[in-house]
Amino acid sequence: MANIVAIVGRPNVGKSTFFNRLVEQRQAIMDDMPGVTRDRHYGYAEWTGKYFTVIDTGGYVTGSGDKFESQIRRQVELALNECTAVIFMVDCKDGLTGYDKEFAKIIRMSKKPVFIAANKADTPNKTAEASEFYELGMGEVFPISAENGSGTGELLDELIKVFPSEGVEDPDAGIPKIAILGRPNVGKSSFINVLLGTERSIVTNEAGTTRDAINSRYKMYGKDFILTDTAGIRKKSKVHEDVEFYSVLRSLRALEESDVCIVLVDAERGLESQDVNIIVLAHKQNKGIVIMVNKWDLVEKDSKTADKFKKEVLEKLAPIDYIPMVFASVLTKQRIFQVIEKAVTVYNNKTKKVATSAINDALLPEIAHYPPPAVKGKLIQIKYITQIAAKSPAFAFFCNLPQYIQPSYTRFLENRLREKFDFEGVPIRLFFRKK
């Protein structure tokens, strides 16, 4: 059984700061503004040989006027249902509040082991004031400072005693990652929720609802994947808040860590400059790429609409022309599973290893039929080809004068490789080396 710990409490008590300390990374966005965390955010931690999953949650509150209030509460309740133990975080500076008392009733209903972390106990006086939280009648109170780490050892020593197992160091190790990317409000979180059949991410019509990069395990087509929902990526000039700036950074980091990127494009707006920027960035980082044209149900179409749309997209992306495109609708669930199926195919293409004999048998006759153009009167001869060990397809061509291979001929060789071995959705790198 997995060891899962949910960090819960009202807004701005330091949950994300403590989460980041436990997972030893700045995964969750931190800000003094209440309500920064909205969705459930997962990470992995270890204490004295025990491994556990940590869930960061949004601040639980009622009557705040925050338009996301009810959805954040729902995310907290899902975390309480899922976890093995609860860290109920309160604030020594503010003392015991009515919100704390109300939320304590909700936590009691979960019937999970509860550990009260009285945060911001940075001085002896504040540590002494933590005793008022015994009034909640929920057991031991642990004065801590999420900022500097004081008191956290005592809390964790007690926490690990309730774990049913030693836990797994990194349950996600070696599992392929698919990042869902795109501009704000294109349907990324809705897509994730439909795939998972659960409210994994908060969804509204407001751009910028998702802030952190949210990971979810997903099993389909005989594969086990991690799907990452990301914040919408806008142009730098349009990013004004610190929170949104860090959201975009988290999205770009999710792209860097992914194996395959599903880029969502709004069918009504077409491929815009920021979509192109995202795709080009994924291409440069040698990621597998699938374009999902969302909201296809809202477009008036005839038999030629899809072909016309595809042609316009390829013109804007030129010379990148290897990316598969799926026309889908999250709202009507049209072709959404085809998108994942295509992402699986692209991942398989990305990790494909082609035998050296097969490459040479397929390409050397093509090269003999259409040899590299002579440069400065010198004939270029390619003798041998092999695939290089790399995270994405890369091939070495051994020849007598590698410095004289022209870009147009490199393009010809790439096209022949794609034609013979199907590398749809994946960038291919070609290297020319001295024989």
Question: In 263-330, where does DSSP find H-type helix?
Answer: 273-284, 305-317
Q: How many other C-beta atoms can be found within 10 angstroms of the C-beta atom of residue 214? A: 25
Listed in sequence order, the residues at least 6 apart from 110 whose beta carbon sits closer than 8 Å to its beta carbon are 80, 81, 83, 86
| Region(s) of the chain under CATH 3.30.300.20 | 356-434
In this prediction the pTM is: 0.68
User: Starting from the edge strand earliest in sequence, which strands make up the sheet with 260-266, in order?
Assistant: 214-220, 223-229, 177-182, 260-266, 288-294, 325-327
How far apart CA 341 and CA 335 sit, in angstroms, is 10
Residue at token pair 């500097």: 148
pLDDT of residue 98: 87
Answer whether the bond into residue 365 is a cis peptide, omega within 30°. no
CATH architecture of 356-434: 2-Layer Sandwich (3.30)
Calpha distance 235→273 (Å, rounded): 9
Cα distances from 291 to residues 99, 137, 184, in angstroms, run 45, 53, 16
CATH superfamily of 177-350: P-loop containing nucleotide triphosphate hydrolases (3.40.50.300)
Query: Exposed e or buried b for every residue in 193-205, given b needs 16+ CB within 10 A?
Result: bbbeeebbbbbee
As annotated, the residues of the chain forming the CATH 3.40.50.300 domain(s) are 4-162, 177-350
In whole angstroms, how far apart are CA 350 and each of 263, 268, 287, 343, 421? Answer: 17, 31, 8, 10, 11
Fold of 4-162: Rossmann fold (3.40.50)
| pLDDT in the model for residue 248 | 62
Tens-binned pLDDT, residue by residue, of the chain (435 aa): 478 898 988 888 888 889 888 888 765 444 444 444 445 677 888 999 889 988 888 776 655 444 445 666 777 787 788 888 999 999 998 889 888 888 888 888 888 899 999 998 888 887 888 889 999 888 889 999 988 888 999 999 999 999 888 877 776 677 888 988 888 888 888 888 888 876 544 343 444 444 455 677 777 766 788 888 776 665 544 444 444 455 566 667 778 888 999 999 999 999 988 889 889 989 999 999 999 999 999 988 888 899 999 999 999 998 899 999 999 999 899 999 899 999 999 999 999 999 999 999 999 999 999 999 988 888 989 999 999 998 899 999 999 988 989 999 999 999 999 999 999 999 999 999 987
- Strands of the sheet with 141-143, listed across from one edge: 41-47, 50-56, 4-8, 85-91, 114-119, 141-143
